[in-house]
Every structure is written in structure tokens, then in C-alpha cells.
Structure 1
Amino acid sequence: MTVEGGPHTGMRARLRGPVLRVWAKHDRDSDGWLPLWRHMEDSAAVAGRLWDEWLPLSVRRLVAAELPDSADDARRLAVWLAGVHDIGKATPAFACQVESLAEAMQADGLDMRSQRSMGADRKLAPHGLAGQVLLGEWLENQHGWAVSQAGQFTVAVGGHHGVPPEHGQITALDRHPQLLRTPGRSEVLWQRVQQELLEACAAEFGVQDRLGTWRSVKLPQPVQVVLTALVIVSDWIASNPDLFPYFPQDASRSSEDRITAAWRGLNLPGAWRAAEPPADLQELFASRFALPPGARVRPVQTAAVELARTMEEPGLLVIEAPMGEGKTEAALGAAEVFAARSGAGGVFFALPTMATGNAMFPRLLNWLERLPAHDGARHSVLLAHSKSALNDDFTDLMERGPVKALDLDAADGSQEMRPSRSGRAASAELVAHSWLRGRKKAMLSSFVAGTIDQLLFAGLKSRHLTLRHLAIAGKVVVIDEAHAYDTYMSSYLDRVLSWLGAYRVPVVVLSATLPATRRRELVEAYAGRRKGDSYDFGTVSQAGDYPLLTAVSPGGTPVLRRPPASGRGVDVEIERIHDDLDLLADRLEDALEDGGCVLVVRNTVRRVLDAAKVLRKRFGDAHVTVAHSCFIDVDRAAKDASLLRRFGPPEKAEGRPARHVVVASQVAEQSLDVDFDLLVTDLCPADLLLQRMGRLHRHLRGGEKQTERPERLRAARCLVSGVDWAVGVPEPVRGSVAVYGAYALLRSAAALLPHLDGGPRRPVRLPADISPLVQHAYAEDSPVPTGWEQNVEAARARYDEYRADQAERAATFRLGAVARPGRPLFGWVTAGVGDADDTSRGKAQVRDSRESLEVVVVQKKPDGTLTTVPWLVPDSWGRTLADLALPADQVPTALAARTAASCGLRLPIQFSYAETMDRAISELEELHLPAWQVKDSHWLAGQLILALDEDCQTQLAGFTLRYSKSDGLEVTRATE
């Protein structure tokens, strides 16, 4: 057990005797080990490098603002906490775990009972908690700190394994002092060893003379969080034996050589250092977004960037503007300004779904590639959702320049090397770094596009929550489609916004159709409004202008701006149509006599398929396309790409059909830049109905008079179905009520009534009528038509009960509010959910949805062999993907396994009910293939496999499942 190697510098020079035998790490295979003093020194050195070269300036400023000597104190504190984080390993409860190392310590007088004789009591002293107690004792006894004062610093030690201790755990350990020091003759020696290590850390890391000054500091909880997270990251890097080898192999290397080699091997990209963008907004947008010749920056974009520049301090910016106004570009322009002013080191773009995340990711990359770069600058990039490894843009980045670094928290498996499929030119500046992978670390990447769940997880009590907070604390956060989140999700979002305000994180919120009451809730959550505030936030909710920008700094007063729209408007004639498919087919046949492209949006997949069946009989299979959520991933992506290719903007689309009908569910509602001549839609909430209208005459085709559209479709028209309009009070179909609730549908119908046919009416003018319609539909005091009162009140009572239930259930695992400065994080995630991840179960924790079953769809041939599904087209490199063999007795080839994984499918709600889900899982597990469960089969290991027969059918849990490339999954009762 070598301890004396190497020059006596650093911590080693300050230590003598038994303390050198205390161990921190052990490798059972090689019998290598690492002394505790060395790991403390390694961790502190990593923290120093992270602070200087990786941590965003905004986070460093957050910590520095709370300390007497500002930035110098902040760095010293971070390094010192990382250095002392494992002091709890200098205890009998930890040291007894490796017999040979324990015996060496005993030979130097550090007596301890064996691990077996300690029994269950040992679990009362996990080394993080033990370290917190020891550090607290030392601060109290040696430096005169009060118990309440020490906790806000020592919690970074106690919580460095992901969960800050609870008060009960601290009390329980206090009743078992023998776990910290063996009673008897060696008790004093144990105490001396612990003090030697703590005193050596204080001297080595420069805090000896600062501890007296820090006694009066009250650390806000956000500062405690980021310090704890920094300790965790430092520990994980310093615990990597590839970077920091164990003794005896590395016993002779100096401390400086050791950290220099490790840091070079890690090669971690630094934080973004944003420069103030050009003052000329035309120059800014042209350089960042490749504006077409003659295009001008739009008023909303100009107002957003100018407001970001003039705010007292970067804060919350809410952009409400019509579809097609360039809100995404406005958000990125404002983000660049915010980052330059605040020191943020990256951007997180949060979107409603994986599909919208995939669509945003290349746009984010394009923007990044046009940002001015410092010499040698490298940026870490992430696509944050559960199927990001199937995205070509992201996997191309993962395959560039692999870095040797161990992933400590997840066995993701290595990506097979393959040529680029995305067609994106290689950029040396953008990397998906190997260390920044895995469920707990990935969000630490500088630039992230992902689902809103990743942001909402920051409001969920879960393990390693501090890392999620560190990840967002150093970024500008952009939240798209803010209107799309219900009460349950909004409860989490508001709590996250309150923490973002406390971190002083700049946030940009985007929406085309935001109810005024929701606008006020967002602003209040972020600004941290308290009782007695002088500003009346009612002004925010009373503003009816549109477009509208609302800005507020943390703790500040909101500012409103009212830029004009870009100038182009669309008048949409609204007409009700009875919910009869033959009548719909007749109407469309008449409308499309001279050609045209129609979008029919239905509120349920069942209604999509029923409508498509009738319309295909009338127009032919080739002239009707189906799009909904129940397609396998690869088909869903192909559907989106095909819709954009055929129905996208005139300058980008190709092959627009002369006559075509697209029947879609809500997937056509958002984030698809598609343009149709006629819209038919089921009645839905007013804001979503307006989103659907945004796909109608979205672009000019043949100038202002739309001369390139068929003559009878040059006036924009929307037919509203899914309702029995013949009765006194409209009755939405049952499927729509199940999705949206009767109250929202009735309020939407009431708002639309002045625009519907059957009486005096006028068209809906977009964008002028967007805000009035949404506010009318959502304002609690809006009048309802005569005779509707009883129905609306009954529906509202059910709605209020449902919302109250959502809020109550969301509160179960929701993170608490930011507490007063100085209050330690003890019990911060008590009664939490454990680990939070991007699986269907994890998403169900922050969305009010049942856990859904996800399967990988393959085909089972008559001889029992398995293959990939037969309709897949070759990839961009010409490789065959259809009918690839999936042998049951061995790991499939990397290409076959990845192709199969790309055929993931989320089963519909029928399979989310407990009894049906249990039965389905049981039946699916009958096709359990042990050969696929090994590490080399990371694409398929642990997946549920749904095998279709040659007719693309199967039976599951009493249902018949039929799948086709054109229609997706159709589910019927087995008896139907």
C-alpha cells in the first residue's frame, strides 16, 4: 500500500502519519487505490478548472454577489467545498468496506469494527452525510460558526450524491457517534485525522483566513444549489480513473502534472462567451439567419431585440405575435443580447414535442454556425429527448472526435461509426461531447434543443436535481408554444420560472395565442411577486394589444411594447358544417372542382382514420394523406418531411399537388410551416383553432390576390365540424370532449359565434382578431349567448373541479418555492420521485398523462424469423433498411438494430389503463430475446418488441392492431 511516492507538494506536504493511509477509491480488479488526500486535491483542482474555463460567467456572478470578496471569494469557496466533499470517507463507517485497506489503517492506530459487525447501523452514515456533520463540527468548534450558519455551506458536502440530507437523517446520525469515530483509544486519533484533512484543505485552498468573514454570509438557496452541483461535477470528473489513475501506478506524478493531463484528456468545451451583437438589426438578422434578398427585419423582431437591450437587467421577455412573424428568430436575437449582458453560457430551446424538437435542432445549429467565434472556441450541443440518438443531425455531431472519458452515471453504449447522413457540413466548433451524455449530465451542454419536459424536470423533486438547476442557471431559456401547456404542466412551469427568476436567468416565452390571465401568471411567477408589492400586475393581464411584448426583470416592474404586425393579414370566412362524412366529401368535391389543397384536422386518431376512409373512396388513395401521432418514428418523420416538401413555403416547396386532401390530428397544429387553400377543423379551444387557421393561406401564392390558388379557393375559408350545430346549444362530439373538455369547447364556440354563418357575421381577421378571440374565450367574465348559461355553468363546474385536481396532484412532487437566504437545502427533495428521466414514465410525472407503452415494431415472417419492417426506403447512403435480419440468437448488426429502434411506436391510450397495460406487457414479454439484452445491443436491450405478421397485424391484450405505412396504427376490439 504505497503512500509516499512523488514530491511532497500540495496537500501531501501538509500531512503526516496515519492520515496518509485513509483511502477514498478502490478498484477490486486491479487492487489499485486512491488516498483520500489525493482525491480531495484532484476534486479541488477540477473545480478550479471548471470555474475558470467551463462555468458560465452568469453563474460565477450569482455566487460572487453573495460573498464579501466577490469573485475571489466565490472561486475559493467552490474549490474548497469540492476539496472537502469526501471528508466523510475518513470514518470507520466508510473505511471498513475494503478489508485490506482497513487493515492498513488499523495498523496505524485507526481502529474500526468490520463491515459485518457494524450491520445495518452503517447505513445511517453515508459518507456524504457523515462529511456534512464532520465539516459542520469543525466549523463550529474551530471557527466559531453557529449550527444554523454552517448548514448552508456544509449541505454541498451532504448533498453531493444527489439528495441533500433530511433533518431526520442528521438527527439519527447524531445518535450514533461511533460511526464517525471508533470509541476508545483511537477516538482521538480519528478526530485528529479528520481535523488534519480539513485544516490542510483550508490552508491549501486559501480559505483559512476567510472562514471568519464568511460566518456572517447568508447564502441564497440558488447559490447553495449551484455550489452543490459544481461539487458533484468535480467529484465525477475526479473519480474517473481514465483521467485520474489510481495508486500505485500514478503515485509519483505531481499534482500539477496530474490535473494538466486529466484536463487535456477530458477536453471539455468551454461556455459560450457571447459578444454584444451588431447594433444594426438588419445586419444582425441577415448574418444570423440568411435572410432572402430584399427581406426586411419584421417589427416584432426589431422590438424584441431593442427591448432586450433596454431592459434594466436581462429577465423575462414574452413575445405574443402571429404565426409566421419570425418569433423563433426574434427569440434567438434577444437571446444573443441577453447572453452578452448577463454572461449566460448557452441557450436551451424548450418545445412541446419530440417532433418540434427535431425540427428546431437544425435551425439551432444553423444559428450557431453563424455566430462569431473566438479563436479555437468549441461549443457542446445537445438534442434533448429520449430518441435523440436516432436524429441524424445529432448523431453526426456525436461521431466527431470522440473523447476518452468515462460516463459515470449511464451506460448509454457507444455509437457505431458511420458516415454523415444529415448532409450538414462538419463544424469543428460544435460537438456532442462524450462526457456530456447520460441522463444526469446531458443538459449541462451549452446549447440544447429539447422537449419542455427537460425544463419541467427542474421543478420535480428528484435525485441530482441540482445538476438540472446548474444546467439551466447558466443559459438563456426559450419556451416555445407557451399556450400549449395545461394546468398540471403550468403548475410545474410556474415553479421553474420562479427559480429561474431567482437565478436571474434570462427567459424568452413565445406564443401566438396566449390568454391574458396566463401572461400575468408567467410574469408574476418569474418576477417573484410578493404581497405588498406596489406594482399592480393586473395591467399585464388587461393589455389587449396584439402583437404584444411584455418584459420584466427579476423583482422588477413589467414593461409593455406594442409593435405592429408585419403588414400582411388574412380574412378567414368561418362556416359551420354538420358532422357528416358524406356531406364533408360532397363539400370538398365541390370546393376542389378546379383543384386545391385541403387540410382536415380531427381531434382524435379514430376520427382521422374514419374521415380518411370516406375521402379516399371519393378522391382516390393517391389524393389523400393521413398524418397523426400513431405512426412509427421513422414514418412520422417521413410524413412531416413530405408535408413540408409538398405544402411548405413557395420558395422551398416542390411538387405541390394540383388536388389533395391531408387528414391530420393535432400534429398539424404547430411548428409545421405548411400552407393550404382550405381548412376543415373539428371545434377545439380558440387558441388552438387559431393555430390551425395559421396553416390556411399562410403564404402569398400569386401576390396579394393569391392568383396561383384555384379561383374558388382564393378567399380563405375555414369549415368547423365535430359539433351538432342543429341543437340550441352546440354539442361537440364525444371524442373532442374527452380531449379538451366541454367548457373550453363551448367557450370557443361562443367566441366564434359572431363570425359563424347563419346570421350577421364578419370574417376572422388574422392577425387582428387573434388576441380578442383568445381573451374572449378565456376571460372568466366573458358573456355567453342567451340560452347557453346552464350548459356553460355545468361545464365550468366540471372544468374547475378538474383543474383543482390537476393542481393538487401536481403539487405532490413539485419542488418548493425559493426559501429565504441562509436556509439550508436540507430536505430539499424529500418525498420526491427518485430519478427523473426522459421515458414515458418520467414524462408522466410532469405531464398530466398516463404512462404509455412504447414498443419497437418489427415483422415476423411465416418461418418465425424477425426482420425490420418491409416498407422502409434506403437511407441517404443507399443502404437497404427494409427486411434486415434480426436474429433471435445473437445481437443484430448495428445497422439492423438501429433501423429497428427507429421504428418505435407509442401505443394509444387504450393501453395506458392498468389492467390492459399489465396484460399487454405480459404478452409482449413473451417475445423476450436474451441475446438482445447485452451491452453490445444498446439499441434494442430492454425494449418491448411488437411483432406484426405478414399482413402487418397482431393481437394484443384483447385488441387487434393493424399497421400500414399510409394510415399508421389502427386499434379495434378483437371482436370488432
Structure 2
Amino acid sequence: MKIFPWGKLQCQPDGSIATHSLIDHMTDVAAVMHHLLSLPAIQRALHQAAGRPLTGVDRARLAVLAFLHDIGKANTGFQGRYWRDAKQRPPGWASPCGHGPQGWGLFVDALNGLPWPRRIIAGLPLEAMDGWGDACLNLLHASISHHGRPVQSEGSEPLWRPVQHAGEVIYDPAQAVHAMGQAIQAQYPQAFDSSAPELPDSSAFAHLFAGLVQLADWLGSDTRPGFFPYTQPEEIRSKTVLAIAQHALTAIGLVVGDTATRQQSTHADFAQAFGVPTPRPMQAAMADDGLGSVVVLEAETGSGKTEAALWRFLHLWRAGRVDGLYFALPTRVAATQLYERVQKFVQRTWKNTLPVVVRALPGYAAADGQGYEALPGFQVLWHDEPQDEEAERRWAAESPKRYLAAPIAVGTVDQALLGALQLKHAHLRHAMLARSLLVIDEVHASDAYMTRLTEHLLRAHVACGGQALLLSATLGAVARTRYLSIGARGQPTPPTLAQAQALAYPAISHRGAGGPQLQAVEGNPRQKTVHWETLDCIDEPDRIAALAVEAAARGARVLVVRNTVPAAIATLQAVEALATAQEVDCLFRMNGVSTLHHSRFSRQDRPLLDAEVQAQIGKERSPRPGGAGLVVVGTQTLEQSLDIDADLLITDLCPMDVLLQRLGRLHRHAREQRPGGCEQARAWVLTPAGHDLTPLLQRQRHGLGPMRLKAQPMGGVYLDLRALEATRRLIDAAPTRGIPAENRALVELATHGEALDAIARDRGEAWVRFGKEVDGLRNATGTMANLHALAFDRPFGDLFPKEQGGIGSRLGAADRLVTFAEPLPEGPFGPRVEQLALRHHLAPHNLGADAQPEDVQSLAGSEGPGFTFRLGDMRYRYSRFGIERLPSH
């Protein structure tokens, strides 16, 4: 009795076990890899990383190395896993174990001179492979590490001993490896051409290859109809696998036609794509072939940057310079908003077969506008129950690790940043992103950790021939200089404050042949004069409510933006009390319930709130009964992605770049008539008593200044009081400002290092010390980002710490997701609540990554619409105010 090694197995409904030959599975993965290497976008990325074009011999050799990814499965411990019940396992088989470290251990121990692994790998054509160059072993390590992170060597000679039964050898790992050696020589004879040059010996090349192997293994393990089912009797897999690989890669959207096909399948008309007569000059400029690989587009809110980004993607895609798009947004809500717009763009632009558009949001993913439910065994059930061919297109949407393999995906910036961190499956994300135009929306320089990670991501992306477009309403000169230096040698010298102020705005910046270039463009031709004034009542919700209700009584749509949720709730309560007393019907309601807008609402309610805000205070707002206006109260969520057109803005003090975002919601659209007192764009900016920020040096209030917690680094919402003081002074310095004409100067005068240092010196020694503390913290968080980042210029095996718990795309503790059991509790606005995101500082200390239904205890006695529940030792209420933690008792 001879036993042949299995690579995959599956329990059947009748209790039997189906197996897929190990050799055949390795053949599947190698075929996917070989076909991947023929795709122009992948070839371009590898060419850039290698410093030379790949030859046919290179591709065959890389397919061989991908074939060997599962060599470790030949060990008897892994093969013994066939018998899941230890009592049924025959004698002679090693205890169940894995295969990655065990496979790599074969080669490490052989290099270290141990005799036993030489017997196992003697069946491989090692002498010929030695001629592939020094890179071969490192690339093999990358291949064997296909489960998402570099494996460490675990050599164990007993795992590789033959298994005997009744005096006969029934399984010998060395024979299995010998069969592998025969298969690779038969399937890829070109790989063993001794006259060919050595494989590229570049760290960036090895990292890229690692990601491609992870993709090839994942796809080559997919047994859905039409992909890689288990080998049928009499089937010779090597003869059928090429057609299977071709079909699978085409089905998921990785195989894209040549430029002629692309141009024939799409419209090249801006009006067709976006439903407007002509592009603005800023948008038309995105089709310039002279733009570099990293482009920065700065233009005011509402100027059409999204359309400009999509137009650039279409231009690059039709020219064959990219195969995909990843549109990265700062928040999940912003991504959800944009997803529908991108779908409409695709529907208008593609003539027949549309590329799939993925909403790349874990727990809220979608493709073609459809969601799904996760099933056991990595399967999914799409809500629209598509046919097999239709479901295949959505392959990338079925797992967050695969999002970036989608032809077009919209998600948060985190998904892209995860490809630049020392985290599992980072290489897969990195390799798939290399095919695409990466668009990062709302880039800013206020977060040192994410800014440094973004720079690192862009360096790796550009090094693989990727294209990137960064969008910003206003980007400081220092950050822009660093972004435009990507791909260049040496440290860039940022412009002085005077030079930065003089730069054009709106503008397109990129790195051309002669270095960084900035050219003025026209964005939204409509200019507005903003009348602004500081009001020192940030601690007085009653005074804030009086301003808002008075304007609303005249018919104004008033937007009140507070920096923190408690302040927003207190303001809404003051507005409700005053509106009731004065009999002014100006409350923002959702399904008849008075409420506000912030991030602490359920995933079911938040999109409804977004839509209702836009309906009541957006561009196409309808008249309100009785002629009264409206007061919408919320937090920073109101300044991002929502198309809001307020008659009056009341906002807490915030950094100038953020304030300009909020001002973009004021008089956003042209109207023939505004309510009395709101004919001009007017904003009240709320400050502490006496307009004095000095008390905030030691204690944060309303999101302004530092939070100082024991044994933790200084943190805060808007930490740098120097930037806040600079913003306050700029408001007081002139009662009106031209927007966007003065945007550039305003941002530089409130963010440039020279301006911040001058503020600190003017305010005294305590401010100077504080400035040094903030700068030191910024440098420290930048250093932390460098430590967490995946070093693509270092050898593959040197990476990844043993503990990855502190590594993330954003610095700080992560939020927790609370999932409720059936029957779902009814939320304050009617729809039942499936999940709530619980901010980390509100979550119980003993809560793990997420809270499952069994962790949640429903409680009686909620006041008004909504419900209360217990989680761990904490009590919570979910009501029209969002989720709140209740006092313990």
C-alpha cells in the first residue's frame, strides 16, 4: 500500500474525505503565478522593482519557486492530519503539525550542514537552481511564507522519516519531494536554461513576489465551479490547469484587455462620464500625460476633485498605465458616500461589461451594490444570489485581504496602509495595489503617524511603478514637499513661509523630469467672501443655541459644528429647550425624532442620518413648513463628504485647514436668495473665555489642547495650541476673507513651522516649552511609524516582529465592534440595530477585539426611543443622542 501526499482535503456530507493531490495543488498555484507574470501591470511592477524587464526564463523560474510554496506539506506530521481522530491514525505518523516553518527548515538545516535534509531535497534539481543566483533562496523563502508573514525555520528530522507498515514503506517524504522535482522540470523546462541571467536580486522584487505568491495560493485554493476543483479521476492536471488559471484570473478582473480593447469598451467623453457639459480646467488637466507618478491636487471643497480623480483613472486605464483603482477615504462614512458616485461613473462610462466596484469596508463590504453574509469555510452568500459567473467577479470583495485585487475599490485609507505595515498579508495588499492608481482623499499633515506611513506607502508603490493622486483642500508646504520628493534622492528642502504663501492655489503639483513642479489651475470658478468673527462662548451652549435659533427663526439653515460629542449633545439640548420656549420649529429630525450628527451611531442609522442631513440642509433642500429654518448640530462628521449648504455656520475653534473644510459647507451652492441676515457667508468661531488658550496648555477642553494621562504619551483631538492660536489671530486680523483665493496664505500662516515658532515666542516661555513638547511628540510618532512600517528595501526574511498587537494604520487604541443577537433591538429611529462601533475609551477594559452577541446583555428601562444594554461591567444606552456610557451603580 502506497500513500500519495494530499495538498487539500474536505469532509463530504456523507462523512467521507475528499483529497486533492499535493502535486496537483502545487501545479495549480504555479500556473496562476505563471499567468500572473504575463499580465502587463504585474510585469511593469516587477520590471520597476527588478531594474530590468523579466524574461520568459525569469517567469518560468518564478513559477517553479511558487510551485514549491507547499513543499513543507510533504512532512509526515502534516500528512497525518488526514486522520483527524488521533485514535484512528496508524502508527508511524508524526504528531500533526504545520508546513511553512517545516518546509523552510529543510533548506536552512541543509545550508547549516545537517545531513538529514539533504536526503529529502536531493530529488530537486538543486544544482541547476544554484545557477539562478543569490536571490533564489530568498525568493524561495518568500514563496514558502505564503500564509502572510515570513516563516521561521523549524527543522525536525523525525517529521521527514519514512512511514512503514507491515515492514513496507508506505510513505516517504523524500519520494514526494522527488516527484515535485520531476514535475517542475516537466512543466517549466525553460526555467533550467543554464545560459539565462540570474534572477533579480532586489529586496523590493522579493517583497513584490511574496505578495504575488500569496495571491496565487489563495486563488489556486479556490474550489468554486470553474476555478480549481479537486482533480478528477484520469485527469492530468498539468494539461488542464492553464485554461483554469486563465479563466480564474479573467473572472476576478485581473486580466484586462489591451489599450485598443480598453478604448473601444469605454467612453472618453467627460460629459458622458459625469453628466455635466464640460470639465473644469482642473479636471481636464488630469489627462495630461506629462504628470509624474505622484500628483497632488489642491482645490477648495466642492470644486470637483472627485471627478478629477476619476477622470485621471480613466485616462491612465485607457492608456494601459494602470489596471485598477483604489479610492482611499479618511473614514468609513466618506467611503460609503463615494461608493455610489463611483458606481454611477462606471455605469456611465463602460459600454458593455462593467468592471466590478467593491465597497472595501470590513463588515460592510459590497460589490455591484450588493452585500453578502459570511458562511463557514470562507464561503459567502450574496444577497442577490447571482449565477456562478456573476459571483466570480466579486471574488475580491469576499475578504478584506483581497480588496485591493478588485478592478475598482472604494474604502478607507487604512486598507492601503495595511500593505505598508509589518502585518500579516501586507505583501498581498502591496502587490495588488501596484497595479492601480491609488487616490488618497483629504490628505493633510496634522497626524504625524499616518503622514509618515502614507509617505512610506507611496515610496513602495512608486518603486513598483504605481501611480498615485493625493487630494486636499489645502496641504501645507512641508507635507507637499515630502510627498513630491518620493522617488528622488536626498532630503528635500521645504520652502520658507514667505515662499509657501506665494505659491498658487488651486494647483496641481507633481515631480517632473526637472524636479517638483507646481502649476496653477482653475477649480470652482465661484468665489465667496466669508465674514467671520470669534465669539468667546465655547463653554456656553445656551448662548450658542440663542444664535442658532434666532437665525433659524428668520428661515436660515444653520450648521453648528462642535469638536466633541458631549458638547454637541449639550448644544442640541439647549437648542431644543429654546426652540420649544420660543415656539420655533427648527429642530433636525430623523423619522420624527430630534437628533444630531456624529460618529457614535449604528452602522444602520448612520447612512440614514447622512442622507437626511443632505436632504434637509443640502443642495436640493425643500421649503420647511411655516417658513422656519433649521438647526443641525454635530461634530467633525459634518465637515467630510456631505454636500451641505448652510446659510450660517457656528463652529468651535479648530486648525485652519480643518476650519476651511467647515467653511466649505457655508454658502456651498449659489442661490438667488438667502434668509435675512444670511445674505453674506457668515461664520461664528467659538473660543474659550477671553479668547485665551493658555489654560489649555495643561488641560484639554472641547477637543482643544493636550490630554495628559499617566503613563501615556500626550494626545488630543486638536493638540497643537500654536496652530489654534495662529488660526484665532488670523480670524481676528481681518473681518472678511476671500475663499478660496486666500486659502494658501491662511493655511501656511497657521501651519508652517516658522509661523508656529513665532506664535510660541510671542506667547512666552510656557508656550515655547509646549511647542518643543509637541514637536518632540510628532518626531516620536513619526519614528514609531518608521518602526512599524514594512521595510521594502530590506531582505524579506528580516521583517515582522513576533508581537504585532501595537501595529496599526492609526496610532492609538482601536474601536470595538458590538454585535447584537436576534431579535435585534429597535433603534431610536425605527430600524433595528445590528452593530455598534464603541469608541475605545468607552469600552470595558476587559473587552477583546470585538463583542459578540453572547457578550451583550439587554436591559430594561430605556428613556425614550432606543435601548440599554450591559457589556462587561459597563452599562450603555443607545438613543437619539447616539451611544452613551451610563454611570455604574
Pair 1:911 & 2:842 matched: yes
Question: Residues of 2 paired with 1:520 and 1:805: CA distance?
Answer: 21
In structure 2, do the counterparts of structure 1 residues 69 and 385 end up closer, same or farther at CA, with 3 Å as the change threshold? closer
One-letter amino acid matched to 1:155: H
Q: For residues 470-489 of structure 1, what are the structure 2 equivalents within 5 Å?
A: 470-483=431-444, 486-489=447-450
Question: Residues of 2 paired with 1:146 and 1:921: CA distance?
Answer: 47
Q: 2:689 aligns with which of 724, 733, 740?
A: 724
- CA shift, 1:123, in A, is 7.6
- CA shift, 1:381, in A, is 2.6
Q: For residues 575-594 of structure 1, what are the structure 2 equivalents within 5 Å?
A: 575-579=533-537, 580-594=540-554
Q: For residues 96-245 of structure 1, what are the structure 2 equivalents within 5 Å?
A: 96-98=80-82, 113-116=92-95, 125-127=101-103, 130=106, 138=124, 141-145=127-131, 148-166=134-152, 169=153, 173=155, 176=156, 179-180=159-160, 194-195=177-178, 197-210=180-193, 212-214=195-197, 216-242=198-224, 243-245=227-229
In structure 2, do the counterparts of structure 1 residues 438 and 751 end up closer, same or farther at CA, with 3 Å as the change threshold? closer
Pair 1:663 & 2:649 matched: no
> Is the contact made by 1:96 and 1:113 (CA closer than 8 Å) also made in structure 2?
no
> Is the contact made by 1:488 and 1:810 (CA closer than 8 Å) also made in structure 2?
yes
Residue 325 of structure 1: SS of its match in structure 2? coil
In structure 2, do the counterparts of structure 1 residues 139 and 480 end up closer, same or farther at CA, with 3 Å as the change threshold? farther
Of the structure 1 ranges 777-786 and 491-500, higher mean CA displacement relative to structure 2 is found in 777-786
Q: 1:749 aligns with which of 707, 725, 734?
A: 725
- CA shift, 1:383, in A, is 0.7
In structure 2, do the counterparts of structure 1 residues 324 and 222 end up closer, same or farther at CA, with 3 Å as the change threshold? same
In structure 2, do the counterparts of structure 1 residues 974 and 34 end up closer, same or farther at CA, with 3 Å as the change threshold? closer
Residue 440 of structure 1: SS of its match in structure 2? helix
In structure 2, do the counterparts of structure 1 residues 436 and 852 end up closer, same or farther at CA, with 3 Å as the change threshold? closer
Residue by residue, what CA displacement relative to the aligned partner does 1:907-941 show, whole Å, maximum 9, x if unpaired? 345424xxx432x789x98xxxxxxxxxxxxxx76
Pair 1:336 & 2:314 matched: yes
Partner of 2:458: 497
- CA shift, 1:455, in A, is 1.0
TM-score after normalising by structure 2 = 0.83
- CA shift, 1:147, in A, is 7.6
In structure 2, do the counterparts of structure 1 residues 136 and 633 end up closer, same or farther at CA, with 3 Å as the change threshold? farther
Q: For residues 495-894 of structure 1, what are the structure 2 equivalents within 5 Å?
A: 495-524=456-485, 526-527=486-487, 529-531=488-490, 538=495, 542=500, 544-552=503-511, 557-579=515-537, 580-620=540-580, 622-625=585-588, 626-649=596-619, 652-655=620-623, 658-702=628-672, 708-725=673-690, 727=692, 734-737=701-704, 738=707, 740=716, 744-756=720-732, 761-782=734-755, 783-784=758-759, 787-819=762-794, 823=795, 825-831=796-802, 833=804, 845-856=808-819, 867-869=824-826, 872-873=829-830
In structure 2, do the counterparts of structure 1 residues 905 and 41 end up closer, same or farther at CA, with 3 Å as the change threshold? closer
Question: Residues of 2 paired with 1:284 and 1:833: CA distance?
Answer: 47
Residue 126 of structure 1: SS of its match in structure 2? helix
In structure 2, do the counterparts of structure 1 residues 689 and 665 end up closer, same or farther at CA, with 3 Å as the change threshold? same
Question: Residues of 2 paired with 1:77 and 1:91: CA distance?
Answer: 24
Partner of 1:5: none
In structure 2, do the counterparts of structure 1 residues 26 and 670 end up closer, same or farther at CA, with 3 Å as the change threshold? closer
Question: Residues of 1 paired with 2:885 and 2:76: CA distance?
Answer: 60
Question: Residues of 2 paired with 1:298 and 1:612: CA distance?
Answer: 39
In structure 2, do the counterparts of structure 1 residues 853 and 297 end up closer, same or farther at CA, with 3 Å as the change threshold? same
Question: Residues of 2 paired with 1:576 and 1:646: CA distance?
Answer: 27
Partner of 2:116: none
- CA shift, 1:191, in A, is 5.3
Question: Residues of 2 paired with 1:439 and 1:793: CA distance?
Answer: 45
Q: 1:963 aligns with which of 878, 882, 885?
A: 878
- CA shift, 1:298, in A, is 1.6
Residue 719 of structure 1: SS of its match in structure 2? strand
Unaligned runs of 5+ in 2: 111-119, 589-595, 708-714
Pair 1:315 & 2:280 matched: no
Partner of 2:275: 290
One-letter amino acid matched to 2:280: R
Partner of 2:325: 347
- CA shift, 1:49, in A, is 4.5
Residue by residue, what CA displacement relative to the aligned partner does 1:593-620 show, whole Å, maximum 9, x if unpaired? 5321111111111000111111112224
- CA shift, 1:317, in A, is 0.5
Of the structure 1 ranges 154-163 and 848-857, higher mean CA displacement relative to structure 2 is found in 848-857
Question: Residues of 2 paired with 1:514 and 1:852: CA distance?
Answer: 28
Question: Residues of 1 paired with 2:146 and 2:859: CA distance?
Answer: 44
Of the structure 1 ranges 261-270 and 491-500, higher mean CA displacement relative to structure 2 is found in 261-270
In structure 2, do the counterparts of structure 1 residues 183 and 523 end up closer, same or farther at CA, with 3 Å as the change threshold? farther
- CA shift, 1:454, in A, is 0.5
Pair 1:370 & 2:345 matched: no
> Is the contact made by 2:655 and 2:718 (CA closer than 8 Å) also made in structure 1?
no
Residue 198 of structure 1: SS of its match in structure 2? helix
Partner of 1:885: none
Question: Residues of 2 paired with 1:232 and 1:728: CA distance?
Answer: 52
Residue 627 of structure 1: SS of its match in structure 2? coil
> Is the contact made by 1:320 and 1:546 (CA closer than 8 Å) also made in structure 2?
yes
- CA shift, 1:440, in A, is 2.5
Question: Residues of 2 paired with 1:857 and 1:798: CA distance?
Answer: 43
> Is the contact made by 1:67 and 1:217 (CA closer than 8 Å) also made in structure 2?
no
Partner of 2:370: 396
Question: Residues of 1 paired with 2:333 and 2:392: CA distance?
Answer: 22
Question: Residues of 2 paired with 1:907 and 1:466: CA distance?
Answer: 30
TM-score after normalising by structure 1 = 0.76
Pair 1:268 & 2:227 matched: no
> Is the contact made by 1:274 and 1:339 (CA closer than 8 Å) also made in structure 2?
no
Residue 322 of structure 1: SS of its match in structure 2? coil
Residue 451 of structure 2: SS of its match in structure 1? helix
Partner of 1:13: none
- CA shift, 1:872, in A, is 4.8
In structure 2, do the counterparts of structure 1 residues 494 and 968 end up closer, same or farther at CA, with 3 Å as the change threshold? same
> Is the contact made by 1:143 and 1:211 (CA closer than 8 Å) also made in structure 2?
no
> Is the contact made by 2:66 and 2:213 (CA closer than 8 Å) also made in structure 1?
yes
In structure 2, do the counterparts of structure 1 residues 945 and 548 end up closer, same or farther at CA, with 3 Å as the change threshold? farther
Number of aligned residues: 832
In structure 2, do the counterparts of structure 1 residues 955 and 85 end up closer, same or farther at CA, with 3 Å as the change threshold? closer
> Is the contact made by 1:129 and 1:159 (CA closer than 8 Å) also made in structure 2?
no
One-letter amino acid matched to 1:150: C
> Is the contact made by 2:422 and 2:790 (CA closer than 8 Å) also made in structure 1?
yes
One-letter amino acid matched to 2:20: L
Residue 34 of structure 1: SS of its match in structure 2? strand
Question: Residues of 1 paired with 2:290 and 2:791: CA distance?
Answer: 32
Partner of 2:868: 954
Question: Residues of 2 paired with 1:662 and 1:826: CA distance?
Answer: 54
One-letter amino acid matched to 1:723: P
One-letter amino acid matched to 1:453: D
In structure 2, do the counterparts of structure 1 residues 743 and 238 end up closer, same or farther at CA, with 3 Å as the change threshold? closer
Residue 483 of structure 1: SS of its match in structure 2? coil
One-letter amino acid matched to 1:317: V
Q: 1:89 aligns with which of 73, 82, 102?
A: 73
Percent identity, please.
Answer: 24
Residue by residue, what CA displacement relative to the aligned partner does 1:624-661 show, whole Å, maximum 9, x if unpaired? 23111122222221111011112222xx3334674111
Question: Residues of 2 paired with 1:728 and 1:225: CA distance?
Answer: 48
> Is the contact made by 1:320 and 1:547 (CA closer than 8 Å) also made in structure 2?
yes
- CA shift, 1:22, in A, is 4.2
- CA shift, 1:263, in A, is 6.3
